Amino acid sequence: MSTTEIAYLSVKALTKYIKRKFDADPHLRQVYVRGELSNVKIHTSGHIYFTLKDDSSKIAGVMFATNARSVAFKPENGMTVLIRGEVNVFEIAGNYQLYANDMQPDGVGALFVAFEQLKEKLRHEGLFRIETKKKLPAFPKTIGLVTATTGAAIRDVLTTLNRRFPLAKVIVFPTLVQGRGSAPSIVQSIQRANQYNEIDVLIVGRGGGSIEDLWAFNDEIVARAIYESEIPIISAVGHETDTTIADYVADVRAATPTAAAELSVPNQLEISRHIIQLEQSIQTKTLHLVQLAKEKVDRLQGATVMTQPERLYRPFIERHAYLQQKLESSITRQIERKKEQFLFLKSRLDQQQPLKTVAEANTRVDQLTHRLNEVKMFKLREEQQRFVSTLRTLEVLNPLQVMGRGFGIVYKKGHVVEQITSIKEGDVLSVTLKDGTISAKVLEVSKGKEE
């Protein structure tokens, strides 16, 4: 047969032929496979893509979002799982793969795996830290109860609260605590309780049941609602052996709902007994204090100070007298010293009186004036005598007096002629006599002997 006579198939036709073979095989429509997960990818659409492998083989797998939402745990690489599904052909890629409808962890239940995964996640975020736990009030006035309104749990809680502390007001928030929608119902009730602004403590829980019945208290939104609550929360879920995520997040975990009621309020009987004990203790201590006070009063009344009070202030009186005497002596000495200083100063003042000094000065002035007058008169008389003497001498020396005796004064050309040598014959001379002047002409000059 030549190649032109052979009918070639397209890839698509071949793939569809193979797919019909897979569809027709009843053993591939529902298979149960155990294997290890690898290459796990959880798409944002919710589809889970993975590879399932063992020691010698592997097969690609996918779980679409409609089935993936029912998986209680988060598939991770290395996890051994049990898968129920079918094997078929992925036409686009031309390979076969496992289409998973259900997936369970191998060895442990899916819920347990989901529980551990969520617990580890919230622990890592710090929702279980002790330091974030709120303290329960000692005497709550109002208690909130988040639980179902039917069942034994709410009856047990109400009975216990009424028996232990009937003064507390109880507000019940009817809540769906099991099945679909239970987790949002619990969250809504916790949020409503926080909006009341009068609830002191909140009990969140339900009675016992299977892990599936209690599963709402393992939901992440319930855990976060408990953590964000401003009211202290007591978790009371199932029995003592049941532990949920809510128990880890709550401020206080109670083994049962009844135990939660006991933890939330004090016991009135214990309070009464405590009050009675306090009353007795106060009475005993008061009597003891009164007795001590009485003994103290007796001691004080018998003290010397009380029996002889003057002894209490006698030292002060003595000291007062001593100080008073000392003060008086000091004042007396001061007065005497000041008096002496006054007399001394007064004596100096008397000695240095300015009026006396002025009087003495005036006397001195008078004496000096008298002496000056005497000297002045003496000088005057002396000068007068000297004047008279001089006057007499002048009178003796007066030329007029000489001319009165017959003498005259010869002038030549206005000058007195004192020497005969200054005259020569023919000179015209003037001769002044006592009573007039004459003019004369020298006829002859004769020199006489010099005396």
Per-residue pLDDT tens for 24-68? 998 898 899 988 888 899 999 999 999 998 888 999 999 999 999
DSSP H or E segment with residue 125: helix 110-125
Q: What's the fold here for domain 11-106?
A: OB fold (Dihydrolipoamide Acetyltransferase, E2P) (2.40.50)
Spatial distance between the Cα atoms of 195 and 231, rounded to a whole number of angstroms: 10
Strand segments, DSSP code E, in 207-346 are 233-237, 252-254
Torsion angle in degrees (nearest 10) through CA of 436, 442, 448, 451: 30
* Phi (first) and psi of residue 168, to 5 degrees: -75, 135
Q: Could you tell me if 205 and 151 are in contact, meaning their C-beta atoms sit under 8 angstroms apart? A: no
Within 8 A by CB and 6+ apart from 411, the residues are 417, 429, 430, 431, 432
Residue with the two structure tokens 């929360």: 233
The SS3 assignment for 23 reads helix
Q: Judge whether 170 and 196 are in contact, CB under 8 Å.
A: no
The answer to whether 52 and 37 have CB atoms below 8 angstroms apart is: yes
Contacts of 193 (CB under 8 A, 6+ apart): 144, 146, 171, 173, 199, 202, 229, 231
Instruction: Count other C-beta atoms under 10 Å from residue 231's C-beta.
Output: 21
pTM of the predicted model as reported, rounded to 2 decimal places: 0.51
CATH classification (class only), 111-270: alpha beta
Q: Which residue bears the tokens 């975990």?
A: 253
In the chain, domain spans: 11-106, 111-270
Q: Answer whether 184's CB lies under 8 Å from 157's CB.
A: no
By C-alpha distance, which of 260, 238, 214, 255 is closest to 115?
Answer: 214
Selection from 399, 421, 130, 407 nearest residue 250 by Cα: 130
- Tell me the three-class secondary structure of 309-375, residue by residue: CHHHHHHHHHHHHHHHHHHHHHHHHHHHHHHHHHHHHHHHHHHCCHHHHHHHHHHHHHHHHHHHHHH
Q: Are strands 428-433 and 436-441 parallel, antiparallel or unpaired?
A: antiparallel
User: Which pLDDT does position 451 carry in this prediction?
Assistant: 42
Among residues 409, 437, 407, 442, which one has the least CA distance to residue 423?
442
Per DSSP bridges, beta strands 436-441 and 48-53 are: unpaired
Per-residue tokens: 382: 């002396």
Provide the 10 A C-beta neighbour count for residue 202. 30
Q: In angstroms, how far is the first alpha carbon of the chain from the final one?
A: 220
Q: Tell me how long the chain is.
A: 451
> Alpha-carbon distance 332 to 345, whole Å?
20
For the sheet with 252-254, list strands across it: 169-174, 142-147, 201-206, 233-237, 252-254
Decide whether 11-106 matches 111-270 in CATH topology.
no
Asked if 113 and 80 touch (Cβ cutoff 8 Å), the reply is: no
Q: CB of 147 within 8 A of CB of 206? A: yes
How far is it, in rounded angstroms, from Cα 44 to Cα 216? 25
pLDDT tens column, 225-260: 999 999 999 999 988 777 899 999 999 999 899 999
CA dist 214 and 110 (Å) reads: 15
Q: What is the pLDDT along the chain (451 residues), one digit of tens a residue?
A: 555 677 888 999 999 999 999 999 988 988 999 888 888 999 999 999 999 988 889 999 999 999 998 888 888 888 888 899 999 999 888 899 999 999 988 866 667 778 888 999 999 999 999 999 999 999 999 999 999 998 788 999 999 999 999 999 999 999 999 988 999 999 999 999 999 889 999 999 998 887 778 889 999 999 999 999 999 999 999 887 778 999 999 999 998 999 999 999 999 888 899 999 999 999 999 999 999 999 999 888 888 777 777 777 777 888 888 999 999 999 999 999 999 999 999 888 877 777 778 888 899 999 999 999 999 999 999 999 999 998 888 887 777 777 777 888 889 988 888 888 888 888 999 988 888 889 999 988 888 754 4
Q: Are 177 and 299 in contact (CB under 8 A)?
A: no
Q: Which two tokens stand for residue 192?
A: 């409503």
Measured at the CA of 91, the angle between CA 85 and CA 95, to 5 degrees, comes to: 70
In one-letter notation, the amino acid at residue 182 is S
Q: Strand pairing partners for 80? A: 36
pLDDT, tens only, 139-191 = 999 999 999 998 788 999 999 999 999 999 999 999 999 988 999 999 999 99
